[in-house]
Every structure is written in C-alpha cells, then in structure tokens.
Chain A
Amino acid sequence: MPENALEVAGLRKSFGSLDVLDGIDLTVGDGEFVSVVGPSGSGKSTLFHLVGGLLQPDAGSIRIAGQDAVGKRGRIGYMPQQPALLPWRTVEDNVVLARELAGTPRRKSRAVARDWLDRAGLGGFAQAYPDALSGGMRQRVAFLRALLSDNPLLCLDEPFSALDAMLRADMHRWLLGIWEENRRSVLFVTHNIEEALLLSSTVYVFTRRPARVLERVEVPFARPRSDEAVDDPEFVRLRRHITDLLKTEPLKGPLAQ
C-alpha cells in the first residue's frame, strides 16, 4: 500500500487576531482526486500556501508522501488561480518551468512538453507567446506546467473560477481526460459544488472562517466520468446536500451581528 499523497492533521493558522484555519484534517490518497469546497474567504488559499511551504502553520502537521513538508517549498505541482505564465517565454518554455526550477535543463524537457501539448490540443501553440492565447488556453498551459513537475501531488487553486460556464464545462471534460491518462494525486480547491462533485472521489466541505472540516463527502460515481453524471439522481442529491450544508452553516464573527 503506497503512502498517502498528502496528510494534513490538526492544521491551524491565524494572521494576528484573525483565525483562518481552525484545525484541519485532510487526506489525499495516492492517485486520488480530492476537492475542498467552502465559502469564499474560508481560508482555502491559505491551506495551499501552507501545503506549498510559503507559510508556517501555528500548529499541526503536513506530510507529503510520508515526508514532513511543513515550511518546505517545491514539493507540489501547483496551478494558481490566475495562469501566472511568464509573458516573455513561449508556451513550450512555460510548460517546462517547474522542471527547470528543480534543476532539469530546459532542452531535456522540451520533448515531453511538446508531447503533452499535442495531447492537450495545444500542439500548434508550442512556439506562441501567452498573450496570443485565450483565457482557457492559458489555463490549460498552466495546468500542463503543474502536471509536468516531478512532484506526484498536484494542487489546483480555483483554476477555472475566472472562466465562463461553457468554457468551464469544456475544461472539466479536458481535465478529466488528461487525469484519466495518468491518475495523479490532486488536491483541488473550488467554491463550485458541481465542479467538485464532478471531478473528485472525495469532497471536503469547509466552514466559514475560521475554517474547519464540516463534512467529508464520498462521491461514488464510477470512472471514467462524463459530464452526464450531473443528471444522475445521486449527483443531484449530493449537490443538494452540500448546498444545504453551506447554507445552514451559522454565521460567525462580525457578520453575525
């Protein structure tokens, strides 16, 4: 039995008097697609900054593939909310960036970059600069860049939140297709319930700030999934369930008054 890709236990973080994470327990199994949904401002990005080693937690542990990862950067393949591509690099040279940071020379990664760009339907854009690409295409490039990092765990931070609904559905199909091919371990943060249910095998529902895990929801649908899954009665039931969870969750802090 391989190690879990990510194990987070009792994770706490506050900024001054602002409590953001209030004891988070969360596990991403090897090859598992796990989503975190929660209201905006529930500390989802803070969770990523902790897992990515940018921030130090006040308490709790983070283990990536069994190794202590608290405060350690460069252990994840990361896809931020905005594509964050280097505008002076071609698409191909952007895709190899994560490997380059880990010390693999650019020319050694170009072949595999081109291969993935072809598979992702971006083959004709390898030599283009990011400003020639549409928003959806830039997100695909950012995803491939994370995918090509040598780290087994991928962390995707609301990657499709800036896209319109039609494009988003497109991206879901595209992402599932690529994910089925190599089944990487994924931690996916979103505030879109349907997106979380469609993509993941486990969904963690977060409370408002300070965030705790409200419920851990198993998503039973078989893979490979198609977007028709959203019409399944069980899917509709789960969506209603999570929506109600987030709705009935009492207001806390200054908003409650």
Chain B
Amino acid sequence: MSESSQTHEAAGRGRVSGKRGLVTDVRREVDGGREETAKTQREVGVAETRRGVATGAAVRRWLAPGAAVVLLIAGWQAFTTLSGTDAWLLPSPADALAAGREDRAALLTNTAATAKLALAGLGAAVVIGLALAVVLHLVPLLGSALYPLLVVSQNIPTVALAPLLVVWLGFGMLPKVVVIVLVCFFPLTVATLDGLRRSDPVIADYLLMSGASRGQLFRKLELPAALPPMFSGLKIAATYSVVGAIIAEWMGADQGLGKYMIVAKSAFRADKIFVAIAVTVVLSLTVLGVVLLLERVMVKGRGRA
C-alpha cells in the first residue's frame, strides 16, 4: 500500500503543486481503510467466539465488501490524479468531498426536501400497495382480472409518463408523489399478494375445522404469514422511493437533490453532481435501514429472516 502511494506521490510531484494535497488525501484514505480493516477484524473475532462458526462467513459479510469500497475509491482517486483528467469531466473523490463541504448548507435543505418527498411517496405507496394486495386477495375475481394489468403497468416507462402527469396535475407535490407511488407500489403489492396466497394450507385447514371465519383466517393466518414477503417488497420499494423522488424532481421542482443535480449539470459542476449522488445513496440506505429495523420489531418466530 505505502509503496503504491509513494508511486502516486512521485507521479504527482511533476505536476502542479496543488495536486500534492490530493496525494495526502489518498494516503489518509488508505490509512482510514486500514483502520476500518482492523475494526472489521475485531468484529469478526467477536462473532467467532459468540457463534463459533467459520471466519469465512464473517469475512465474506464485512471484510470483502468493505475492502471493495475502499479499493474502488482509492482506485478512482489514483486514476484521476495520475491521468490528470479535468475535474469538470471526472472529479476525484477528494474534489467531490471538497465541493460537498463548501455547499453543505444548500445540500442540507435539498436533502431534507427530497427526504420529505420520498417518505410521502413511500407512505402513499405502502397504503395503496397493501390495500391493493388485500383487495386482490380477498376478491379472487378482481385478482385474476387485474393482476395481468398490474404487470403490464410496470412496462410503462415512468420517465415518459412524468411530463403527462405534470400536464394533468401541475407542478406541485401531487404529481411527484404519484411518480413515486407508480415506481414503488408494484414490488410491495406483488410480494404481499404472494405472501397472502402462500399461507400454509395445513394451518388453514386446522383453523377452518376449529371454526375460524373468513375474517379470522385472514387476520390470524394470512396477514401474519404475508409479513416477511411484504417486508421483502418494502425493502425494494424503500430503495426505489428515493430514486423515484429524484426523477420526480427532474420534472420540475424548486428544491431537492434532483433539482440540485440539474443546476449542477448546467454549471458543469460534475463534482457537485457526485456529491448529490453520494447523498442520495446515503439517504436510500437510511430509509432501507429504517425498514430493516421495523422488520426486526414486527416479524417474530420462524418468519424472521
């Protein structure tokens, strides 16, 4: 590692002195990576004594992906530094970091706006998607009639539909929420519907023989049985919701990360676009994390993944 950063330094020396800072940043990042590696190894050690399982699994789970991310960023930094690519074309991670630091106030407001939009859209998608799944399950005729339509609806490109929505619904929050719902409801509805349909027939027989009504069968068997698959759908929907919000903001918005990206693009500020992308990823992961937490609380017994 140190050998390669020496090479970077040697390569950087010939160039503008301003680039020196970058090389130091690289080294800092490499060191940071080493620290992370040490921490991960500690975690692996704890896991090993606790569970007494092979280290291989823990390495695969934490060490390998962590190393991949560190290597990717380091490689990117090295490439931009060594090749001398112009920052407006491909900024280095350090450039992006600097841009983010400089613009943090604007980023914060825009991130808040996008988060609000994404959550509103996801909330609406959850309500609509779950209601749809339950209705399609409880009314089988409606289920067979609408299911193919549902699948077809997913082949309509949302980006093409977006301008129409603006024509119909204006520039306010509503058309943006509609876009997010269109992107998010499908995985939720399909996963939940599958879960409802695949509840254990042996348990269903038991419940019916014991006098369960249709409502009781639904509440006591089908609904709880559908929770784990429902969460699988919700994890996908949660990730889509942030991306959906960005796309919705491209339709025309006065704030948000999508709007921020468009402004940055017009100003040829690739570094700012990368910052916005990084923030989007973090936002997505945060929403996903909340869903995972919710799953831990709500799914009990064998259903737990």
User: Are A and B part of the same complex?
Assistant: yes
Q: Is the CB of B202 within 8 A of A80?
A: yes
Which B199-235 residues have a C-beta within 8 angstroms of A? 200, 202-203, 205-212, 216, 220-221, 224, 227
Contact of A74 with B211 at beta-carbon distance under 8 Å, contacts A84-B200, A89-B301 already known: yes
Of A52, A54, A76, A86, which one neighbours B220 at CB under 8 angstroms?
A86
Measured in the bound complex, the distance between the Cα atoms of B211 and A97 in whole Å is 11
In the complex, whether B75 has a CB less than 8 A from a CB of chain A is no
Are A86 and B209 closer than 8 Å at their CB atoms?
A: no
Residues of A within 8 A of B209 (CB): 48-49, 52-54, 73-74, 76, 78, 80, 155
User: Does A185 count as interface, using CB distance less than 8 angstroms?
Assistant: no
Complex Cα distance, B221 from A52, in Å, reads 19
With a cutoff of 8 Å between Cβ atoms, the chain A residues found around residue B203 in the complex are 84-86
Kindly state the separation between the CA atoms of A52 and B206 in the bound complex, as whole angstroms: 9
Kindly list chain B residues whose C-beta atoms are within 8 Å of the C-beta of A77.
210
Q: Verify if B299 is at the interface (C-beta below 8 Å from A).
A: yes
What chain A residues lie within 8 Å of B202 (beta carbons)? 80, 82, 84
* Docked-complex contact B303 and A88, CB < 8 angstroms: yes
Q: Is the interface of A mostly helix, strand, loop or mixed?
A: loop
Dominant SS among interface residues on chain B:
helix
Instruction: Name the residue of chain A whose CB is nearest to the CB of B203.
Output: A84
Q: Does B302 contact A (CB under 8 A)?
A: yes
Interface residues of B, count at CB 8 A: 21
CB contacts under 8 Å to A, within B246-305, are 299-303
Q: Report chain B residues within 8 Å CB of A80.
A: 202, 205-206, 209
Residue contact B208 to A73, C-beta cutoff 8 Å: yes
Q: Which chain B residues border A74 with CB–CB below 8 Å? A: 209-212
Establish whether residues A129 and B301, one from each chain, have CB atoms under 8 Å apart when the complex forms.
Answer: yes
Q: In the bound complex, what is the Cα–Cα distance between A203 and B237 (angstroms)? A: 58
Mark each residue of chain A from 21 to 62: 1 if its CB lies under 8 Å from any CB of chain B, else 0: 000000000000000000000000000110011100000000
A141 at the interface (CB under 8 A from B): no
Q: Could you tell me the distance in whole angstroms from the C-beta of A99 to the nearest C-beta in chain B?
A: 10
Query: Min CB distance, A242 to chain B, in Å?
Result: 28
Shortest B10–chain A CB gap in Å is 60
In the assembled complex, A159 has its CB within 8 A of some CB on chain B: no
A101 part of interface (Cβ distance < 8 Å): yes
Residues of B with C-beta under 8 A to A98 = 210
Contact, CB under 8 Å: B301 / A149: no
Closest to A102 in B: B211
A88 touches B210 (CB 8 A): no
Q: Is the CB of B205 within 8 A of A101?
A: no
- With both chains docked as a complex, state the minimum distance between the C-beta of B176 and any C-beta of chain A, in angstroms: 37
Query: What are 20 sample pairs from A and B whose C-beta atoms fall under 8 A apart?
Result: A53-B209, A54-B209, A73-B209, A73-B211, A73-B212, A74-B211, A80-B209, A84-B202, A84-B205, A84-B206, A85-B203, A86-B203, A87-B303, A90-B301, A97-B210, A101-B207, A101-B212, A101-B220, A129-B301, A129-B302
The interface of chain A, by Cβ under 8 A from chain B, is 48-49, 52-54, 73-78, 80, 82, 84-90, 97-98, 100-102, 129-131, 149, 155
Please list the residues of chain B having a beta carbon within 8 angstroms of any beta carbon in chain A.
Answer: 200, 202-203, 205-212, 216, 220-221, 224, 227, 299-303
